């Protein structure tokens, strides 16, 4: 009995079962293809978002560093003005001291020179602090704007 041929009644059932298996495999392939396509689309969108965010952040850092570099240059000019002012005061003081006719005049002149020097130093430091504060605020602004844009997305 082991070598029995399928009867004519079972042949249509086998064909039907084979067709169903073939259809099921085809549906499975289609479903797998759709899942792969969906995953690829999601990956592509995520990659695009990451690339956009990295580009925007890089731009924000570049803007921030540009403002910072300009500010450093402005501070350097400010420091050189302080040095120049101190140098000018130091070079003119000996000639003025030589014109003094008494110790009282010399003492008053030294007080004036010292007062001028302290006033200039205080003004220069105030200016440098103002520049530093302004530059810091301007340099951080592009980064803050980028962070706010990232939170909005």
pLDDT tens digits, 27-56: 777 877 888 888 888 888 888 888 888 888
- List, for residues 91-119, the tens digit of each pLDDT value: 888 889 899 999 999 999 999 999 998 89
- Range 67-84 average pLDDT: 88
* Domain range annotation of the chain: 13-152
C-beta contacts of 65-74 below 8 A and 24+ residues apart: 65/139, 67/135, 67/138, 67/139, 67/141, 67/142, 68/135, 68/139, 70/135, 71/131, 71/132, 71/134, 71/135, 71/136, 71/138, 71/139, 72/135, 74/131, 74/135
Q: At which residue do the structure tokens 């130091």 appear? A: 90
Per-residue pLDDT at 20 exceeds 70? no
| Predicted structure pTM score | 0.56
Mean pLDDT of 115-127: 89
């Amino acid at each position: 009995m082991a070598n029995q041929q399928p009867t004519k009644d079972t042949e249509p059932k086998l064909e039907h079962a084979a067709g169903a298996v073939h259809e099921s495999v085809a549906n499975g392939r289609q479903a797998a293809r759709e899942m792969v396509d969906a995953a690829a689309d999601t990956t592509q969108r995520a990659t695009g978002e990451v690339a956009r965010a990295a580009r925007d952040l890089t731009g924000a850092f570049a803007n921030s560093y540009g403002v910072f570099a300009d500010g450093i240059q402005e501070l350097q000019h400010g420091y050189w003005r302080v040095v120049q002012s101190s140098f000018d005061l130091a070079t003119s003081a000996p000639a003025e001291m030589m014109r003094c006719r008494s110790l009282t005049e010399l003492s008053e002149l030294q007080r004036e020179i010292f007062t001028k020097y302290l006033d200039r130093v205080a003004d220069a430091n105030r200016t440098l602090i103002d520049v530093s504060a302004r530059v810091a605020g301007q340099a951080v602004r592009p980064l803050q704007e980028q962070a706010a844009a990232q939170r909005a997305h």
